[in-house]
Amino acid sequence: MTTADSDHCISGTGATPVTGVGTAWRYDDSIALPPEADEDEVYPPAELERYETARQAVHDALDAERERSRKQVGEEEADIFGAHKQFLDDPTIVDATRDAIKSGSLAEHAVADAFEESIEQLAATGGRMAERTDDLRDVRNRLLRELIDEEDAGLGDVPPGVVIIAERLTPSETVALDPDEVAGFVTAEGGRTSHAAIVARSLGIPAVVGTGDSLDAIADDETLLVDGTNGEVVRSPDEQAIENAQANETAEVRDDRVSTIGNHQVEVAANVGSLQAVESAADFGADGIGLFRTEFFFLERDAPPTEEEQFEAFERALSTFNGQRVLVRTLDVGGDKPVPYLDVEAGTNPFLGLRGVRLAPGARPELFKTQIRALLRAAATEHGDALAVMFPLVASVEELDEVLAVVESVAETLDAEGIDYAIPEFGVMIETPAAVFLAPELADRVEFFSIGTNDLTQYIAAASREEERVESLHDPLSPAVLRAIKQVIEAAHATDCWVGMCGEMAGDPKMAPLLVGLGLDELSMSAVTIPEVKSVVDGLYDEAAESLADDALAASSSTEVASLIDEWS
């Protein structure tokens, strides 16, 4: 915190550790409802039909938004829209809306009232759950706009270079912002884990949230400095203030590798889901790519990508990183990430169905072989030595043996065709409890592991990563998850396997001491958090980090682990 006075400086919570300067631009998301009608003017069956049609339209829009976010922003952000579908279908809200319509309300008013009640109840719970009120508002606004037949949120025409001032931003509003155009945003409501903050982080948009009423005093067109590191908004900043904030950015980009005081080298890499993101990862000082989600090649199109298309993309990523590791994950769709033209049924329980490596080589061998051909060819290009390939959702040794056998047969075919190829480093994503228990056997077959805590947590706790109601159980700080992570690290290090982590947990700077103390060799995350994580790792005392990890492993609850981490920071 600086010592600036409160007229000049507004405090909140920094959402993204970067700084932006621009002119204030106020955004009002209110929606004008039609006037209440007399009961005898309303025909309930017609209103009910309008409501159900609007609900279906919002369902379809959320599905589309989810796929778009998955491709452009990231997995966790995309899952927000899955959670929104649950709010849309929440029985309490749906029943309250239907009842109000049956008693003579217009659909718009019935929706607004039913959501308002749930928003008030959620807000009253306080803490992290209260931050989900943004999501409820988002769903309500979508439904109301559909009913009123109003165009989508008014953030499509934000003038360039402005700092958006709003009561709150919904996840869909945030995801629509162009990080190259907008200078930042400030919201009166929200916290670090609100979805708008998560999306801002992954897009690298300077943001301060939760400032309270102090925003009312800001005049339109006033110049604002959004200091996302210190959680401050400076009004009419002078040049010195701007320079100071920029110098203070934890996001000081470092291209060098970092290690602890005891010389434990930790590779800090980026998770990417597009070629654009590969470029931006390099700008944030990533030591390499730790998770290249290849799904984006397959989404929002009518047919699978060609071998050539994939080969060119891998080659480009390798040359951007110029000899630093580029770790590509083979296709991870199916089940929860349906791709219509692949014609794979989601099944009754998509998260336990045909997804990840299960889809290939068994169900769609040609897709898998094409991707492996592109990868083996890329491994033979100028920077191909830096290529690593991993398989998602492995749950048995047989599965891994089968995919490795396909790799061998693809290599033989390329050989016979006289096409240049090389064999990259192979690894397994540890995302299932089965893979944790089989880690010693898996480690004998590959060169590395990457722990996917997003999935691993949901399978260990039997709590869906998309289900808001069990969010508290989906906690990677659970000692159960931490002990699994430790078991995997020990199994890997007993051989020559290195171990990284690419779940969201790896990108939280507060977790870095614990994760390094547990013994991870690599952390892979949204590029924007790389500088901050590097600065935490650099200068970490090994003994202190290890003792934090030991205490966390011995803890009996997530709450205890969270307190240990809070005490540390």
Considering Cα of 144, then 148, then 149, then 153, what sign does the dihedral take? Answer: negative
Residue 39 half-sphere exposure toward CB, CA atoms < 13 A: 4
- Give the residue from 303, 376, 306 showing the smallest Cα distance to 340: 303
Query: For Mg ion, which residue has the nearest CB?
Result: 455
**Pairing status of strand 223-227 against strand 232-235:** antiparallel
R_g of the chain computed on alpha carbons: 25
Q: Residue 315 and residue 292: Cα distance in Å, rounded? A: 13
Helix-strand-coil split of the chain, %, nearest 5? 50, 15, 35
Beta strands in 89-218 (DSSP E): 162-166, 184-187, 207-209
Q: Determine if 452 is a binding residue for Mg ion (CB under 5 A).
A: yes
If contact means CB under 5 to 8 A according to the sort of partner, which of Mg ion, ligand PEP, none does residue 373 touch?
Answer: none
Q: Determine if 504 is a binding residue for Mg ion (CB under 5 A).
A: no
Q: Residue 173 and residue 187: Cα distance in Å, rounded? A: 12
- Kindly state the tokens that stand for 538: 């650099």
Q: Determine if 453 is a binding residue for ligand PEP (CB under 6 A).
A: yes
Stretch that binds ligand PEP, among 259-267, 298-306, 448-456, 477-485 (CB under 6 A): 448-456
Beta bridge partners of 426: 389
One residue of 502, 527, 528, 552 binding ligand PEP per CB under 6 A: 502
- Give the residue from 504, 523, 524, 513 showing the smallest Cα distance to 564: 513
| Closest distance of CB 536 from Mg ion, Å | 24
In degrees and rounded to multiples of 5, residue 497 shows phi and psi of: -75, 135
Q: Residue 169 and residue 199: Cα distance in Å, rounded? A: 11
Of the residues 9, 84, 109, 195, which is catalytic? 195
In degrees and rounded to multiples of 5, residue 421 shows phi and psi of: -155, 165
Q: Determine if 295 is a binding residue for Mg ion (CB under 5 A).
A: no
| Closest distance of CB 357 from ligand PEP, Å | 12
- Give the residue from 374, 332, 23 showing the smallest Cα distance to 165: 23
Q: Determine if 206 is a binding residue for Mg ion (CB under 5 A).
A: no
Q: How many CB atoms lie within 10 A of CB 297?
A: 20
| Closest distance of CB 286 from Mg ion, Å | 20
Q: Determine if 500 is a binding residue for ligand PEP (CB under 6 A).
A: no
| Closest distance of CB 435 from Mg ion, Å | 11
Q: Determine if 77 is a binding residue for Mg ion (CB under 5 A).
A: no
If contact means CB under 5 to 8 A according to the sort of partner, which of Mg ion, ligand PEP, none does residue 503 touch?
Answer: ligand PEP
Q: How far is CA 105 from CA 109, 173, 369, in A?
A: 6, 29, 57
Site pattern 422..441 for ligand PEP (x: CB under 6 A): ---------x----------
Three-class SS state of 344: coil
Q: Which residues contact 464 (CB under 8 A, 6 or more apart)?
A: 351, 458, 470, 474
Annotated active-site residue 9? The verdict is: no
Q: Which residues contact 261 (CB under 8 A, 6 or more apart)?
A: 539, 540, 541, 542
Of the residues 9, 109, 383, 502, which is catalytic? 502
Q: Determine if 455 is a binding residue for ligand PEP (CB under 6 A).
A: yes
If the CB atoms of residues 224 and 436 are measured against Mg ion, the closer one turns out to be: 436
Q: Residue 215 and residue 207: Cα distance in Å, rounded? A: 14
If the CB atoms of residues 230 and 453 are measured against ligand PEP, the closer one turns out to be: 453
Stretch that binds ligand PEP, among 39-47, 82-90, 450-458, 546-554 (CB under 6 A): 450-458
If contact means CB under 5 to 8 A according to the sort of partner, which of ligand PEP, Mg ion, none does residue 171 touch?
Answer: none
Site pattern 422..441 for Mg ion (x: CB under 5 A): ---------x----------
Beta bridge partners of 227: 19, 232
Cα–Cα–Cα angle for 526, 530, 533, nearest 5°? 120
Q: Residue 224 and residue 221: Cα distance in Å, rounded? A: 9
If contact means CB under 5 to 8 A according to the sort of partner, which of ligand PEP, Mg ion, none does residue 273 touch?
Answer: none
Stretch that binds ligand PEP, among 164-172, 237-245, 305-313, 446-454 (CB under 6 A): 446-454
| Closest distance of CB 302 from ligand PEP, Å | 23
Annotated active-site residue 493? The verdict is: no
Q: Determine if 293 is a binding residue for ligand PEP (CB under 6 A).
A: yes
Task: Answer yes or no: are the C-beta atoms of 325 and 289 closer than 8 Å.
Answer: yes
In degrees and rounded to multiples of 5, residue 522 shows phi and psi of: -145, 145
Q: Determine if 324 is a binding residue for ligand PEP (CB under 6 A).
A: no
Stretch that binds ligand PEP, among 132-140, 173-181, 245-253, 451-459 (CB under 6 A): 451-459
One residue of 173, 267, 455, 522 binding Mg ion per CB under 5 A: 455
| Closest distance of CB 245 from Mg ion, Å | 36
Query: For ligand PEP, which residue has the nearest CB?
Result: 452
Q: Determine if 315 is a binding residue for ligand PEP (CB under 6 A).
A: no
If the CB atoms of residues 334 and 452 are measured against Mg ion, the closer one turns out to be: 452
Amino acid at 505: M
| Closest distance of CB 562 from Mg ion, Å | 23
If the CB atoms of residues 267 and 431 are measured against ligand PEP, the closer one turns out to be: 431
Stretch that binds ligand PEP, among 82-90, 118-126, 176-184, 452-460 (CB under 6 A): 452-460
Site pattern 59..98 for ligand PEP (x: CB under 6 A): ----------------x-----------------------
**What amino acid positions are annotated as catalytic residues?**
195, 502
Q: Which residues bind Mg ion (CB under 5 A)?
A: 431, 452, 455
Footprint on this chain of ligand PEP (rule: CB under 6 A):
75, 291, 293, 332, 431, 452-455, 502-503
